[in-house]
Chain A
Amino acid sequence: MIQKKICMLGSFAVGKTSLVRRFVESIYTDKYHTTVGVKVDKKIVKVGEQETTLLLWDLEGSETEHDLRKSYLRGASGYLLVADGTRKDTLYHVLSLQSRAEETLGPVPFLLLLNKSDLTDMWEIDDRERSAIEQKKWKIIDTSAKTGQGVEDAFLSLTEKMMEKHNG
């Protein structure tokens, strides 16, 4: 059994926690976000024959750069960036989060999750922006906490990427 630490980063109220709630094992409640600034969940993912346990550090939603606690990032093998598709500023924030993460962790695998994809009429991310991001070689997955769309896929993809990196 392999264990990996991954982090989940994003602004306030992008729906990080509700996104994964159904898919992870939890023993800690959300209040940890406001007290300690992080909540740890567990997800077991099977890639081929290999089972991997992901320790998911769900970091407190941040608004400014200062909010990101670098110490929580330490040792992560990968991370998920979550933005709210109905609020463009969250996407910009995520971009800066990514650079800070990469500063701390180096070039570890990550994914961008565009959440609340069920709210199509409130969607603020247009194709131009999407392709700009894709050009940076980022993988984007559209997710919805409501429907659960894309979540399993996100974990699976990230794990695959991390295994690739691991196995060299």
Chain B
Amino acid sequence: MQSDAPDVLDQELTASSSNDDESMAELRTLLLGPAEKQIAEVHERLTDPRRQLKEVSHVLPAAIRSRKDDELTDALAPTVAAALQQSVRKNPKPLADAIFPIIGPAIRKAIAAALSGMVQSLNQSMTYSLSVKGLQWRFEALRTGKSFAEVVLLKTLRYRVEQVFLIHKETGLLLQQASAPGIKVQDADMVSAMLTAIQDFVHDSFATPKDDELETLQVGELTVWIERGPLAVLAAVIRGNAPQDLRTVLQETLERIHLQFGQALSEFQGDASPFEDTAPLLEDCLEAHYDTGQDSTIRRRITPLTVVASLILIGLLVWGFFWFRDKRRWDGYVERLRNEPGIVVSEDGTREGKRFLSGLRDPLARDPNSVMQEFQINPTDVVSHWEPFQSLTPEFALSRARSLLSPPATVRFSVKDGALVAEGFATHEWVTETRRAARFLPGLAGIHDEKLLDLNRIQDPLLMFQLDRSELVPGQDEKFNLLVGDIERLQAIAVELKKNVRLEISGHADGTGTEARNAVLSEERARTIATALESRLPKWPNLTIHAVGSRERVKEEVTEADRATNRSVKFRVIATDVQ
């Protein structure tokens, strides 16, 4: 039967195929068993979402970090933007809280710029009258670089921040408190709680837009300013009129507190000790500004400019002092020179940085350099040019006369009425020379020599004696009288000049006769004259008469006349100085 065969075949085929299948399966398991396990695992990994998540989350941060280029940023940008948008839409608070510390300054900057424009126009339209104060304030505006309007606003302020509270926003608990010296604060913690309650009360009762909050409480002179941050509130109690600047200070302080103490704020459970370090920040808010003009906001900064300016000023003062001193010295010096006899100053100025002086100088005048020393002027700083000249003033004429004529000690010079006066006694040579030279003395019109005694008038004459006698040869009375007169004059002059005079009378004898006789004779002759003189002359203390004999001959004896000459007496005048 053919139909059976296929069935049997089928059966057999099926059986064998099923056997095959079995063995195939067995084979598969044997060969691929371990691999199958792995594959199954991988399959599971790929399809199990939870496992996938785990995998991806493991590698994701590293993967992102390894992508440093813009592609990742570009890919993420739209997603991040959309996420931010949605976040803000759902609840803007977290985002606002996150950027709170930075948004404040950014906004303030923008506002300040806008305001400064406004202030400028305010400045222009501000009509501050020409009062002294107004002018002062304008000057101050110029000096400090602020606009006038700013200065006005600042000047009219007077306020004091008396207390500052840092309050935990959610609970109303007090975190830290600062108060100005002299201010007593009681129960600051209850005040803080109540203040929080009031803020809530106001918000609940009056605020329409959700973000309106209580900012200012005012009662009489006291104002309470409230600044709110995401986690903390800063309340300041102010007495007086405070500028908006102070609000800025409070805001900045609050921002800084959020920055530095943000974590402590969010973890706050009632322990306020972490916030003790906010005390200095709060104390910085305790500003006080008074109207007396000593405004601490217009700080007198010690800028480099003021330092330099003061140094320059000091330098100027010092230089000025020295310049003045030197000028005075110089002027004194020149004045003195002008008054110095024998010096004529013709030019007084400066040449090539040095002082310059020129004029005429009599050689007998004082040396200008020695005058310089008196005025503490350094000669090297001065250029002088002196032309020699002869001064005809009496003093100089006199000095010149003295230097030219060299009067002996027994003669005194002076000037009277433009003429030289010579008093005293001197040798004949000198007297003659003087008389002659006096005509040529510049500046002097002649010489008065009435009181000038030529000693030769006394020393020349010989009084003759008779031969071998000590009696005078007659006919010499006149000669003797003249002599006496001259001696009297000599005496008078000596007194005036305060000089002592000794008159030596020496007798002589001629060559005839013995030496002994002649000695006696000469002495006798001298004594005769001395006696005669003494009887004729008054007794003067300064005149001494000394009579001596002399072996000397007056003249060489050749003729009789010579011998007669030797029979004589001669005078010699010796002057001695005052004791």
Q: Taking beta carbons and an 8 Å cutoff, which residues of A are in contact with B?
A: 1-5, 25-28, 32, 36-38, 40-42, 52-53, 55, 57, 69, 71-72, 74-77, 166
Contact = CB atoms under 8 A, between A and B. Distances in A.
A5 B200 contact: no
Given A2-B270, A3-B270, A74-B170, A55 B203 contact: no
B193 A57 contact: yes
A93 to B, nearest CB: 21
A40 B197 contact: yes
Contacts of A3: 173-174, 189, 270-272
Contacts of A37: 197, 201
Nearest to B168: A75
A77 B270 contact: yes
Interface in B157-186: 168-174, 186
A4 B200 contact: no
A5 B190 CA distance: 11
A76 B173 CA distance: 10
Given A3-B270, A3-B272, A55 B201 contact: no
Given A28-B194, A36-B201, A72-B200, A52 B171 contact: no
B187 A74 contact: no
A57 B269 contact: no
Contacts of A27: 186-187, 190-191
Contacts of B204: 69, 71
A37 B197 CA distance: 9
B82 interface: no
Contacts of B273: 1
Contacts of B271: 1-3
B187 to A, nearest CB: 5
B197 A38 contact: yes
Interface size class of B (residues with CB under 8 A): 20 to 34
A3 B271 CA distance: 6
A41 B197 CA distance: 12
A52 B270 contact: yes
Contact of A75 (B171, B198, B203): B171
B272 A55 contact: no
Contact of B187 (A25, A52, A69): A25
Contacts of B171: 5, 55, 74-77
Interface string B125-162: 00000000000000000000000000000000000000
Contacts of A26: 190
* For the complex of A and B, 4 pairs with smallest distance between CB atoms: A75-B171, A75-B170, A71-B200, A40-B193
B204 to A, nearest CB: 6
Given A40-B194, A55-B173, A166 B270 contact: yes
A40 B173 CA distance: 11
B198 A36 contact: yes
B187 A1 contact: no
B348 to A, nearest CB: 89
A5 B198 contact: no
Contacts of B190: 25-28, 40-42, 55
Nearest to A35: B201
A127 B273 CA distance: 46
Contact of A69 (B174, B194, B200): B200
Nearest to A42: B190
A127 B60 CA distance: 62
Contacts of B191: 27
Interface centre among B169, B194, B270, B271 (most CB of A within 10 A): B270
A41 B189 CA distance: 9
A53 B193 contact: no
Contacts of B170: 74-75
B269 to A, nearest CB: 6
Most buried by A among B170, B190, B203, B204: B190
27 contacts: A1-B272, A3-B189, A4-B173, A5-B171, A25-B187, A26-B190, A27-B187, A27-B190, A28-B190, A28-B194, A32-B194, A36-B194, A40-B194, A40-B197, A41-B190, A42-B187, A42-B190, A55-B171, A55-B172, A55-B190, A57-B193, A69-B200, A71-B200, A75-B169, A75-B171, A75-B173, A166-B269
Nearest to B170: A75
Nearest to A6: B171
A168 to B, nearest CB: 11
A72 to B, nearest CB: 6
B168 to A, nearest CB: 7
B193 A5 contact: yes
Given A28-B194, A40-B197, A75 B270 contact: no
Given A27-B186, A40-B190, A40-B197, 8 more contacts: A3-B272, A4-B173, A40-B193, A42-B190, A55-B189, A55-B193, A71-B204, A74-B200
B217 to A, nearest CB: 13
Contacts of A38: 194, 197, 201
Given A28-B190, A74-B170, A76-B171, A57 B270 contact: no
A91 to B, nearest CB: 27
Given A25-B187, A52-B270, A71-B203, A5 B173 contact: yes
Contacts of A25: 187, 190
Contacts of A28: 190, 194
B176 to A, nearest CB: 12
B186 A36 contact: no
B172 A42 contact: no
Contacts of B172: 5, 55, 57, 75
Contacts of B270: 2-4, 52, 77, 166
Contacts of A75: 168-173
A69 B272 CA distance: 26
Contacts of A77: 171, 269-270
Interface in B258-281: 269-273
Nearest to B203: A71
A36 B193 contact: no
Contacts of B169: 75
Interface string B35-50: 0000000000000000
B197 A57 contact: yes
A39 to B, nearest CB: 8
A3 B168 CA distance: 11
A36 B173 CA distance: 18
Most buried by B among A25, A27, A69, A75: A75
Nearest to B175: A3
Nearest to B198: A36
Interface in B186-240: 186-187, 189-191, 193-194, 197-198, 200-201, 203-204
